[in-house]
Amino acid sequence: MAISASIQALISGEQVAGSKLSSKLLNELMAEGLLSVVTHGSRKSYRARDVEALKRYLIDKDESYRMLEVSSFVSRASLAAETGNSKLVKVRSCLGFPVNTYEAMTCLLNDREMVINPVEGSFLFITDWTAFSIPMDVVVVGVENMENFRMIRQQRTFFESEIGKHRFLFVSRYPQSTDLRSWLQSIPNRYVHFGDFDLAGIHIFMTEFHQYLGERSSFFVPSDIEMRLQKGSRERYDSQLSRFGNLKSDDKDIQSVIDLINKHHRCYDQEGYIKKQIEVVAAVILHEDRIFATQRGYGEWKDWWEFPGGKVETGETPEEALQREIWEELSTEINVDEYLCTVEFDYPKFHLTMHCYVCSLLTEALHLNEHEAARWLKNNELDSVKWLPADVKVIERLKEEKWNNVTESRKRYEE
């Protein structure tokens, strides 16, 4: 309970106007004979007859008044030491805000270097935020949802493709306070706000960040947001309409998002950008000047072409996984000759990491156990089939610099 200024004034021996006191409390104190009346014409003021007696009465009435015995407040520990109760005053014990990053970043805290590099499944909490500084080229990304904040590594490709390849420091305003905003005001860095794509989320950005940071702050708008809004939540939109239906912004980028939300009458949560991570290996099987391609016979990508392969199981090396997968898919044995490249690709429902290896057949017989078709393609035939999007990246790599080198090394290997 906050102790009113009028009670504090009485305890200090000052006169207090009757209009400043609760009528109920005033009547109680007068009935107990704890106050004396001072008249000023038609007006009345009150003064404590005995400050210590008034203080004891208030403390007996409500423990919260024990704060009157505390000469100064520094922390909950000092409060407990003086009164035996650390909860007499509402105080934020957890000052500051959490930070996260997916690559090591050297910052300063109290003029001492500290490296921020939380391991997967953790983040850091900056308590002494007034003494915390970061490199000027770092882009600060404020993440509203804690699930997105905890899983930033699963969104790395998303951030880098949509915002650009910068050094990012991810921050959160939880626990709710103005500490994060005050810190952002004290630094020159660019700020990007990643929140829910609804009217309430935009209102949070406009009133709690953009209003204070101005042009160096922006609301993060992914390139595919309109497509996602089309399948978003109508119920969320309807529930926010009465409060935020007239929301507008002078910033054209912010207003464009408001317009999209109102156009489709839907909202979209930022958690939708957390994608399942799938890591696989793929075999680029060469024979003379030809490359082996298989056509998928199942699922969403049926009839598209790909390099054979699959997931790495627990305890397997990538090479062992490839040999096992090729045996299961093609009933043949291969030699894993050399590493080619790793492709990172965002499919609509998951993020794929595909490690590709140049391979050669140890046995000639091939049986299509899972695929519906297969072809041996020469260099000038690579574009004759419809490759899966991630596999297109491998084809581009082969075309750009690897095809001649790979085929030459294959010839030397065979010799």
pLDDT in tens, 113-170: 999 999 877 899 999 999 999 999 999 999 999 989 988 988 888 899 899 989 999 9
Contacts of 28 (CB under 8 A, 6+ apart): none
Domain count, the chain: 3
Rounded Cα distance between 140 and 216, Å, is 11
Whether residue 123 is found in the same domain as residue 255: yes
Among the candidates 36, 60, 83, a domain finishes at 83
| pLDDT score of 76 more than 60 | no
Tokens of 60: 């007996």
Query: Within this chain, do residues 158 and 125 fall inside the same structural domain, yes or no?
Result: yes
DSSP state of 274: -
pLDDT(72) > 50: no
Task: Say what the pLDDT of residue 178 is.
Answer: 86
CATH number where 31 lies: 1.10.10
Q: Which region holds residue 100: left if phi is over 0, alpha if psi is between -120 and 50, else beta?
A: beta
Domain that holds residue 171: 97-272
Same domain, 125 and 76: no
What is the H or E stretch that residue 368 is in? none
Instruction: Give domain status of residue 90, yes or no.
Output: no
Maximum CA extent, the chain? 117
> What sign does the CA torsion over 134, 138, 139, 141 have?
negative
Question: Is 90 exceeded by the pLDDT of residue 319?
Answer: yes
CA dist 266 and 245 (Å) reads 12
Say if residue 357's pLDDT is above 80: yes
What is the pLDDT at residue 75?
52
Beta bridge partners of 382: none
As a whole number, mean pLDDT of residues 297-317 equals 92
Question: Same domain for 257 and 124?
Answer: yes
Q: Is the pLDDT of residue 83 over 70?
A: no
Q: What is the pLDDT of residues 260-270, one digit of tens each?
A: 999 999 999 99
